[in-house]
Amino acid sequence: MLKHKIERICNMPTLDLVPATSDDFRRLAERRLPRPLFDYIDGGAIDEETLRANSGAFRSVLLNQRVMRDVSMTDTRTELFGQAVAMPLALSPVGMAGMMARRAEVQAARAAEAANVPFCLSTVSICPLEEVASQTTQPFWFQLYMLKDRGHVSELLQRARNVGCRTLVFTVDLPIVGTRYRDVRNGMAGGLGLAGRLRAGLVEYASHPAWAVDVGLRGRPLVFGNIAEYVPNARTPAAFKSWLDAQLDPSVTWKDIEWIRSIWPGDLVIKGILNVADAISATDVGADAIIVSNHGGRQLDSVSPTLRVLPRIAEAIRGRATVLIDSGVRNGQDVLKAIALGASAAMIGRPWIWAVAGGGERGLRNLLSNFKQDLVTTMSLSGVQTVPEISASALAAPQP
């Protein structure tokens, strides 16, 4: 088995040039991470059809190049929830990010702050709210799951307020965890049994000594920082994950969102909307914004790519709430396409964790800089100078 592992590493494509794209950093992350961890962030549900379709939907949208227009002052700045940002982009919450790079959430928050774009911290981050706040100077967003123990939910919201969070992203598409076969195959979902997980872990982690030292040793404590006090006997991410899976509440309804709205005074964003009816329901219970998202294809396979449903949803709640989109965004051109189809901003998950895993905080700063330059170039060649000018006219007419 170890022989096969070494052969796979040796045969893996090399990346000798400076990484520039999300896919470049994905390849770096694959080289540097133990297979169970890479597959956890890279994989999707069932056959991963939706995972592939998300980015494919962006690729299928064509742009409308315009010429002889004054684009000497192209400006990507916009505003999200009262905050001036450098471009219409935000970093989505990524669970267990601190397992992919040493204190990854802190690195990502600092990179986002340097780029002047929002960062959203996951409930199941390795770094707790207080640690991220101590390493940044600007408010960040906080993402929340509905836990069965509402007392824990109230406490988490109070902690978020205490560190200055003003925007809450509430994820509604995870009443239960989707079936992810990659996690089953490599033991992340318990599919190998204890002995099998130990054997696979020894081979994988032994073949990634740099990760073992930088994250496994120097990145401690490797626990879910925001919920550690609720699971005092847990010592590993697997133990915390088991607790969290049991705490996810499949009985949650819009009534629970009304309760959240009643105790959260800041902006409330509902993440995980894929149809018009749910978008309207979200605004009816007081959401300030929604995120059109299918969880990056990690929950229910064979659902629509987010870009395909975005225009209908944006039209249905126009003027009632802000619309954002994630799942499949890979570069600055994708950001423009999303805005042209009705979003106010786009969000990225996998790209930022690939960048931090592959290149650390510096890698993510470079990736965000490239996103901005992509957006500037695309806006200029599409004949628009400012974000409010971006409309459907920036896209080519549909072809038969």
Domains of the chain, each with CATH number or no CATH: 19-181+245-383 (3.20.20.70)
* pLDDT at res. 11: 40
Q: What is the pLDDT of residue 248?
A: 86
Q: Within 10 A of 110 (CB to CB), how many other CB atoms are there? A: 18
pTM here is 0.92
User: Which of the residues 4, 152, 208, 295 is marked catalytic?
Assistant: 295
pLDDT at 266: 98
Strand partners, 167: 267
Sign of CA dihedral 300, 301, 303, 308: positive
User: How high is the pLDDT of residue 200?
Assistant: 56
Q: Are 105 and 126 in contact (CB under 8 A)?
A: yes
- pLDDT, position 186: 82
> pLDDT at position 206, please?
79
295 is catalytic: yes
Tell me what pLDDT residue 399 has.
53
Residues of the chain with pLDDT under 70: 1-16, 190-202, 234-238, 399-400
| pLDDT at res. 190 | 60
Number of CB atoms found within 10 A of residue 278's CB: 16
Supply the pLDDT for residue 187: 76
Identify which of 308, 309, 348 has the alpha carbon closest to the alpha carbon of residue 328: 348
